[in-house]
Amino acid sequence: MIFKERVRELRKERGETQVQVAEAIGIAEQHYQRFERGANLPNIENAWKLADHFGVSIDYLVGRTEER
């Protein structure tokens, strides 16, 4: 699953913890952890928030493009 790999990679590139990302987008830490484990996918609102937070497109997050 590309999504979980991309969010983990982007978070690490920024030097952030899972807690910091979760707080930045307004969700519980456990909810964000499920994204990185691949147990859950975000709803569209959280996908937008993640894309905005990391400065990438939703298409990049879900693997539709290599262009950030």
The predicted-structure confidence for 3-61, as pLDDT tens digits, reads as follows 999 999 999 999 999 999 999 999 999 999 999 999 999 999 999 999 999 999 999 99
> Nearest to residue 4, comparing CAs of 68, 65, 62, 54?
62
Length reported for the chain: 68
Domains detected in the chain:
2-61 (1.10.260.40)
What's the predicted TM-score (pTM) here?
0.93
Provide the sign of the torsion angle of the four alpha carbons 3, 48, 9, 42, taken in this order. negative
Burial label for 16, CB within 10 Å (0-12, 13-18, 19+), is middle
DSSP conformation class of 44: H
Tell me the residue type at 56: V
